[in-house]
Amino acid sequence: MSGPRLLRNLRTLGLYLLLAGLALFATVPFLWLLSTSLKSGDVFTSRGLLDLIPREPTLEYYVRLLGVSEQLPLLRFFWNTALICVWGVVLEVSLAALAAYPLARMEFKGKTLVFALLLSTLMLPTQANMIVNFVTIRWLGLFNTLSAVVLPAATSVFGIFLMRQAFLVVPRELEDAARIDGCGELGIFWHVMLPLSRAALGTLALFAFVSHWNSFLWPLVVLKSAELYPLSVGMAYMAETFDSDFRLVAAGSVAGMLPILILFLLVQKQFIRGITAGAVK
């Protein structure tokens, strides 16, 4: 084997080892939670990676997790989270696509200024808008409802930016052909832009789903009844209720992460295609 080829192979091997180490480092917290939820002994005796493997694995705490529904309505938390995610994804994707289309394909006075002002809001921390949103929710009479959780996140500047970039790469000839066939702006948006931007739509939907699924601070502010809590807030409530048995908390945390992991594994190809949409024009 020649010297340059050997050097290239060693460099590739080193890169793979580095990536494998980073992946292992990132997954250790999840593996520790999973191991803790399956252990039957002391959960704080781990000294190394080999201790993450339970010696006597048990599903007792997952069974108990579903069996404490009177004290802790875990299934209700899942249902609330599912409602928030479904409506949040539908609203965010729909409004982002509708707002992005004129910014990408239509010409009007002040378009660049409008887009710049939208992007400037990304520099504001989420907490800066919380007081205004809270006052608005109280004024609308939506406090302590699931609508109060969904509506403030119904529009996303990141979503508008992502969809605008996806619309920009659609060839102008397709739009002109649709106009010749008699399509108006709404027809072009529905029959041309959306079908050709499915990857970006799927990516935005995945981002929105993960954001709503993991949302904690805002639901904690606007929800007062425990029966309306989403899963993230419910897990914190469970940690306080069952603080003497961390294995039950770990089982609930693992159950809350599984839907996100499964969803990403199912749509990872579309996710990668969508996130790179608009990178090359």
How sure is the predictor about 3, in pLDDT bands with cuts at 50, 70 and 90?
low
Domain-located, residue 81: yes
Do residues 74 and 234 lie in contact, with contact meaning Cβ atoms separated by under 8 Å? yes
Distance CA 153, CA 209 (A): 11
Domain-located, residue 47: no
- Please give the model's pTM, rounded to 2 decimal places: 0.79
Residue with tokens 């060839």: 171
Domain-located, residue 154: yes
Range of the domain at 205: 68-275
Q: What is the DSSP letter of 47?
A: -
Distance CA 274, CA 239 (A): 37
Q: What is the number of other CB atoms lying within 10 angstroms of the CB of residue 60?
A: 15
Domain of residue 83, CATH code: 1.10.3720.10
What pLDDT digit, counting tens, does each position of 258-277 carry?
887 887 777 777 666 655 65
Distance CA 49, CA 21 (A): 13
Nearest to 87 by CA among 212, 191, 180, 237: 212
pLDDT at 110 (0 to 100): 87
Domain-located, residue 74: yes
Domain-located, residue 148: yes
Which residue intervals of the chain are DSSP H helices?
3-38, 60-67, 74-105, 111-120, 130-140, 146-150, 157-168, 172-180, 185-188, 194-196, 198-214, 217-222, 231-241, 246-275
Is the pLDDT assigned to residue 96 strictly greater than 90? Answer: yes
Q: Which residues contact 73 (CB under 8 A, 6 or more apart)?
A: 226, 227, 234
Is the pLDDT assigned to residue 281 strictly greater than 90? Answer: no
If 0-12 CB within 10 Å is exposed, 13-18 middle and 19+ buried, where does residue 236 land? middle
Residue with tokens 């954001």: 211
Domain-located, residue 27: no
- Measured over the CA atoms of residue 135, residue 140, residue 146 and residue 148, the dihedral's sign is negative
What pLDDT digit, counting tens, does each position of 134-173 carry?
999 999 999 999 999 999 988 889 999 999 999 998 888 9
Distance CA 264, CA 249 (A): 24
List b or e across 136-165, with b for residues whose CB sees 16 or more CB atoms inside 10 angstroms.
ebeeeebeebbbbbbbbbebbbbbbbbbbb
Cα angle vertex 23, ends 215, 9, to 5°?
150
Distance CA 104, CA 234 (A): 41
The one-letter amino acid code at 56 reads E
How sure is the predictor about 65, in pLDDT bands with cuts at 50, 70 and 90?
confident
- Lowest pLDDT segment from 17-31, 100-114, 209-223, 226-240: 226-240
Domain-located, residue 112: yes
Q: Which residues contact 252 (CB under 8 A, 6 or more apart)?
A: 65, 74, 234, 235, 238
Do residues 150 and 84 lie in contact, with contact meaning Cβ atoms separated by under 8 Å? yes
Domain total of the chain: 1
List the structure tokens of 81: 């989270």
Domain-located, residue 57: no
pLDDT at 277 (0 to 100): 55
